[in-house]
Amino acid sequence: MNRRYFLSSSIALGAFAAVARLPVAAALCQIPIGSKEAQSNDLRSKGNGAQSSPHPDPLPGGEGAASKSKGIKKVIKTDAEWKQLLTPEQYNVMRQKGTEAPYSSPLNDIHDAGNFECAACELPLFSSETKFNSGTGWPSFWAPIKRENVREEVDRSLGMTRSEVLCARCDAHAGHVFDDGPKPTGLRYCMNGVALRFVKKA
């Protein structure tokens, strides 16, 4: 059974599957087979011990990069409070680290200028200026809007090592970052659209 089968199965499940445990391949945020980069999504686990930040310098918009995560006042709520505030899909992804079904997010098709902010606390996480079509079915970016606005953690779930991306203000799970992205950073921030809210530039 190949990955493409898994992916198309997941697409068929659509939004219904967004809150359910998805097949492993769909949860990996993989680039489809046929892409030259299809095999490289686990590169992060090799070589750097997955502990160090993958960010090359400099990143755009990172004027505060030296003071990483400084100046961001944390938003802390109980699990019950988050459950009340978020939709079931958002809660599953953002607080329980679930993965939405690929191609299920309307944000995939947004190409207007604007910012993608955390759906829970409204901290801007990504800009349309770094959005690109990764072919994965998840909204993808090659850099965060500011380095300090996202936090990374090593994720060893599903039998592999990945870098999880979280909102630096409310610690919501947003997605993962891989090092098979396009220039200039070579990074691919593979995000769950349900964790983001698009705010069009006025």
For Zn ion, the closer of residues 123 and 194 by Cβ is 123
Alpha helices in the chain (DSSP H): 3-13, 24-27, 79-85, 88-94
Write down the residue that tokens 């610690």 correspond to.
171
Regarding 28 and contact with Zn ion (CB under 5 A), the answer is no
| Strand boundaries in the chain, DSSP class E | 114-118, 124-127, 131-132, 140-141, 150-155, 162-167, 173-178, 188-191, 196-200
For Zn ion, the closer of residues 71 and 159 by Cβ is 71
For Zn ion, the closer of residues 28 and 123 by Cβ is 123
Of 118, 167, 170, 190, which one is the catalytic site residue? 190
| Catalytic residue check, 170 | no
Write down the residue that tokens 């659209």 correspond to.
193
Site for Zn ion in 151-180 (CB under 5 A): 167, 169-170, 172
State the maximum Cα–Cα separation within the chain, in Å, rounded to a whole number.
Answer: 48
Shortest separation between residue 172's beta carbon and Zn ion, angstroms = 5
> Measuring CA to CA, which residue among 73, 72, 71, 90 is closest to residue 82?
90
For Zn ion, the closer of residues 95 and 188 by Cβ is 95
Q: List the x/- string, 114-153, binding to Zn ion by CB under 5 A.
A: ----x-xx-x------------------------------
Stretch of 7-15, 41-49, 78-86, 110-118 contacting Zn ion, by CB under 5 A:
110-118
3-class DSSP assignment, residue 83: helix
Residues that bind Zn ion (CB under 5 A): 118, 120-121, 123, 167, 169-170, 172
The residues annotated as belonging to the active site are 190
